Amino acid sequence: MTSTKPVTLLVLGAGGDLTKRLLLPGLGSLLKVETGRQVTVVGADRAELTDKAFGALVRGAFEGVGVNKRTTDRIVRTARYQQADLLDPAALADLIAGCGDDELVIYFALPPSIAVKVCAELQKIGLPKGTRLGLEKPFGTDEASARAFNKQLQRLVPEEQIFRVDHFLGVATVLNLIGLRFANRILQPIWNAEHIERVEIAYDEDLALEGRAGYYDGAGALRDMLQSHLLQVLAIFAMEPIASLEPQELADLKAQVLRATHLWEDDPTQAKRARYTAGKLGRRKIPSYVDEQGVDPKRKTETLAQMTVEVRNNRWTGVPIVLRSGKALGQAHKQIVAYLRPVAHLPSGFIGEATGDVLIIDVKPGAVSFRLTMNAEGDPLDLEHKLLTAELADGQMTAYGEVLRHMLDGNQLLSVRADAAELCWHIVAPVLAAFEANKVPLEEYPAGSTGPDGWLPKDSVLLDSAY
């Protein structure tokens, strides 16, 4: 079901960080491309803001992404703000009633614990028919709470109207995986354990905490990145061939992969965790994580996490898939890397060895590279690596713009379905338990390094900027 009818986008938590930094700029990036789209933005938060101040917030975000003045004026003219304690049923009812007759999309840009409570209040009030809900991660704090929240949401509106946001699914290069995999004959026969030896899915950031201790210190890299974004990417990487870009088809195929995903050797202690100590990122001095403002060192929050999983099905059994993400690393590797097995026989007479080819998909900035082995330019019998790279233009919109486009259209292609949200917790639960029980040591790495030694094989492209 898609719709391009006029929509009221009600943002709960309109004074918060997500709204300012990602949601409104995302909406701007959408309206920059689709200038005629009819959206009325209503912001609600307990912050004291006037319509004018909220309008200025929208204008600032739109100008930041280059929306033309005419479109910006049009959206700002109808944008409204309502100060409200969203846990107050009367205020909530008033807010919903004031949203008018357009299709309603309620975006929960709220702390997750508040979002759960607001949903309980909405249940009592009731929602206009067809109301869509946009929910931010984390979806619950474990499998049981995710299931309970899903049930609660499904009592409020049908699953078809629930949009769980994982903005990685709106990243053009992640979506591009589908085109790359299924529009290229050359890749189809090799996309399996017979040809692919191992896979790394990494999101290594060359940024430290950047003032986000309030959220991050309670989450850590495993919950923040692996449990959500990287498992979604894995699902698209490993899924069976898709017949159409119908939302249900994609959700079914992703869930199939997640159901088959297990920890490598069922061992949660193969997972690794570490946190950064003082160091340098470029010229910037970075303090130790434990000395960052707002961090509670007793929490033992990891800033780098790694775990190996296996998709146990006919296509992938036996292939280790490393998921890894961390902060304050020397190089930003945001990549999906597939290492192919070496050829069965290398003609004798060559100097050097034929290591397997490597396919590197850079998520940011977007590029697809093949590292091949071929005759060197100097001595033709000497083998060397050559990189063939196709750079990918960024999407027309930000990832949030893409997510909002689908949500406003009522198209669930980029939404995380209820079962997937629960499965992601199920996969990481033993690792979280092992971390909590201190069965996995909390290692250290200096900010600006490649992380602790020995986590990745020496030939990993994640350890090398010049692969």
Please state, in angstroms and rounded to a whole number, the distance separating the CA atoms of residues 263 and 265.
Answer: 6
Q: Which range of residues in 3-11, 66-74, 83-91, 393-401 is near ligand NDP by CB under 6 A?
A: 83-91
Q: Which range of residues in 109-117, 143-151, 323-331, 347-355 is near ligand NDP by CB under 6 A?
A: 109-117
Which stretches of 289-405 are assigned E, i.e. beta strand? 304-311, 321-326, 334-340, 358-362, 367-375, 383-391
- Residues numbered 12 to 31 that lie near ligand NDP (CB under 6 A) are 13, 15-18, 21-22
Contact residue for ligand NDP among 34, 38, 46, 63 (CB under 6 A): 46
Least distance in angstroms from the C-beta of 12 to ligand NDP = 7
Q: Is 434 in the site for ligand NDP (CB under 6 A)?
A: no
Q: Which range of residues in 72-80, 105-113, 146-154, 237-245 is near ligand NDP by CB under 6 A?
A: 105-113
Please state, in angstroms and rounded to a whole number, the distance separating the CA atoms of residues 421 and 398.
Answer: 23
Q: Is 87 in the site for ligand NDP (CB under 6 A)?
A: yes
- Residues numbered 234 to 293 that lie near ligand NDP (CB under 6 A) are none
Which stretches of 254-380 are assigned E, i.e. beta strand? 261-263, 272-277, 279-281, 284-286, 304-311, 321-326, 334-340, 358-362, 367-375
Question: Is residue 244 packed enough to be buried (19+ CB in 10 Å), middle (13-18) or exposed (0-12)?
Answer: exposed
Catalytic residue among 167, 195, 229, 406: 229
Catalytic residue status for 385: no
Q: List residues bridging with 73 in a β-sheet.
A: none
What lies within 8 Å, CB to CB, of 204 at 6+ separation is: 324, 325, 326, 329, 331, 332, 333, 334, 451, 462
Comparison of 137 and 272: residue with beta carbon closer to ligand NDP: 137
Contact residue for ligand NDP among 6, 60, 89, 111 (CB under 6 A): 111
Least distance in angstroms from the C-beta of 254 to ligand NDP = 20
- Contact track, ligand NDP, 164-203, x by CB under 6 A: ----------------------------------------
Comparison of 33 and 215: residue with beta carbon closer to ligand NDP: 215
Contact residue for ligand NDP among 30, 49, 61, 86 (CB under 6 A): 86
Q: Is 33 in the site for ligand NDP (CB under 6 A)?
A: no
Contact residue for ligand NDP among 31, 45, 59, 334 (CB under 6 A): 45
Comparison of 15 and 330: residue with beta carbon closer to ligand NDP: 15
Q: Which range of residues in 45-53, 60-68, 339-347, 384-392 is near ligand NDP by CB under 6 A?
A: 45-53
What lies within 8 Å, CB to CB, of 437 at 6+ separation is: none
Comparison of 107 and 237: residue with beta carbon closer to ligand NDP: 107
Q: Is 85 in the site for ligand NDP (CB under 6 A)?
A: yes
Question: Is residue 398 packed enough to be buried (19+ CB in 10 Å), middle (13-18) or exposed (0-12)?
Answer: buried
- Asked if omega into 342 is within 30° of 0 (cis), the reply is no
Alpha helices in 163-207 (DSSP H): 172-182
Alpha helices in 183-306 (DSSP H): 213-216, 220-221, 231-238, 247-259
Contact residue for ligand NDP among 32, 132, 137, 223 (CB under 6 A): 137
Comparison of 12 and 337: residue with beta carbon closer to ligand NDP: 12
Least distance in angstroms from the C-beta of 398 to ligand NDP = 12
Least distance in angstroms from the C-beta of 365 to ligand NDP = 20
Q: Which range of residues in 110-118, 266-274, 329-337, 413-421 is near ligand NDP by CB under 6 A?
A: 110-118
Contact indicator for 398, 65 with CB cutoff of 8 Å: yes
Q: Tell me how long the chain is.
A: 467
Comparison of 120 and 190: residue with beta carbon closer to ligand NDP: 120
Candidates 286, 303, 259, 246; CA nearest to 419 is 259
Least distance in angstroms from the C-beta of 303 to ligand NDP = 16
Provide the angle, in degrees to the nearest 10, between the axes of the packed helices 399-409 and 172-182: 80
Tokens for 279, please give them: 């160091």
Q: How many CB atoms lie within 10 A of CB 150?
A: 21
Q: Is 89 in the site for ligand NDP (CB under 6 A)?
A: no
Comparison of 37 and 137: residue with beta carbon closer to ligand NDP: 137
Q: What are phi and psi of 186, to 5 degrees?
A: -60, -30
What lies within 8 Å, CB to CB, of 428 at 6+ separation is: 222, 223, 226, 227, 231, 307
Contact indicator for 3, 104 with CB cutoff of 8 Å: no
Q: Which range of residues in 40-48, 243-251, 280-288, 425-433 is near ligand NDP by CB under 6 A?
A: 40-48
Q: Is 136 in the site for ligand NDP (CB under 6 A)?
A: yes
End-to-end Cα separation, the chain, in angstroms: 45
Binding residues for ligand NDP, rule: CB under 6 A, are 13, 15-18, 21-22, 45-47, 85-87, 109-112, 114, 136-137, 215
Task: List residues with catalytic annotation.
Answer: 229
